[in-house]
Amino acid sequence: MLLECTESQLVLVDYQARLLPAMLDGSSTWAQAALLAQVARQLSVPVWGTEQNPSGLGSMPPEIRQHCDKVLAKMHFSAVEEGLGEWLRPEKSAPKGNARSLPKHLQKQSDPDRETIVIAGCEAHICLLQTALDLLEDEFDVWVVTDACSSRTERNRDAAFDRLAGAGAELVTTEMVVFEWLRTAEHPDFKFVQGLIKPMAKA
């Protein structure tokens, strides 16, 4: 099964200034998150961010935050406990007017359901893990972008991936995500994405 761009939403968990120096491969992880956010925005994939205790840990850097539709400040480790689920699956309002009098195309919700959640963040074994497990519990399809996730130690990060895979999450990389969203080199945004990835490959 491949990712579908029109069915996806991107969640970026706790990329914050004061966490960066403590994270394993922090700079690379933050760069992958920024790339995901840019590509998602270009492809009209909704992007949601979270910040854990921002007064203590600082805010999300502008190169990521500027691409987010909204950023959720939270104290719970799981963003679902603070209302993320309502952002991802908002209540659908009925169309105005008598349903019988409306054209058929207005009698149904025009926007497709986006039940596929592509998620990445820090720390992988705490806030990312708890958020992703709660999303699985709420019956979302969860895809964890491993090279855009980090913890203070490799053991904690990898233990999170093992647990998430066992719970039913798909483990992917940033390039897997963006090229599955594109599907073809003939996509109008292929060169845009290629232009973002090439400099990172040389770094």
Q: What is the pLDDT of residue 104?
A: 52
| Cα–Cα–Cα angle for 144, 160, 32, rounded to 5 degrees | 40
Rounded to an integer, the average pLDDT of 129-139 is 98
Candidate from 37-41, 58-62, 103-107, 161-165 with smallest mean pLDDT: 103-107
DSSP-assigned letter for residue 142? E
Rounded to an integer, the average pLDDT of 135-161 is 97
Closest by alpha carbon to 147, among 168, 174, 176?
Answer: 174
Q: What is the pLDDT of residue 112?
A: 64
Q: In the predicted model, what is the mean pLDDT of the chain?
A: 91
Q: What is the pLDDT of residue 126?
A: 98
Q: Is the pLDDT assigned to residue 59 strictly greater than 70?
A: yes
Closest by alpha carbon to 117, among 155, 143, 83, 99?
Answer: 143
DSSP letters for 76-98: SSSGGGGTHHHHHSPPPPPPSS-
User: What class is the 5-76+117-202 domain?
Assistant: alpha beta
- pTM summary value: 0.89
| Cα–Cα–Cα angle for 55, 57, 19, rounded to 5 degrees | 170
Q: How confident is the model at residue 17 (pLDDT cuts 50, 70, 90)?
A: confident
Q: What is the pLDDT of residue 92?
A: 73
Q: Where are the domains of the chain?
A: 5-76+117-202
Q: Is the pLDDT assigned to residue 105 strictly greater than 60?
A: no
DSSP letters for 145-185: EGGG-B-SSHHHHHHHHHHHHHHTPEEE-HHHHHHHHH-ST
Q: Is the pLDDT assigned to residue 9 strictly greater than 50?
A: yes
CB atoms within 10 A of CB 28: 15
What is the H or E stretch that residue 121 is in? strand 116-121
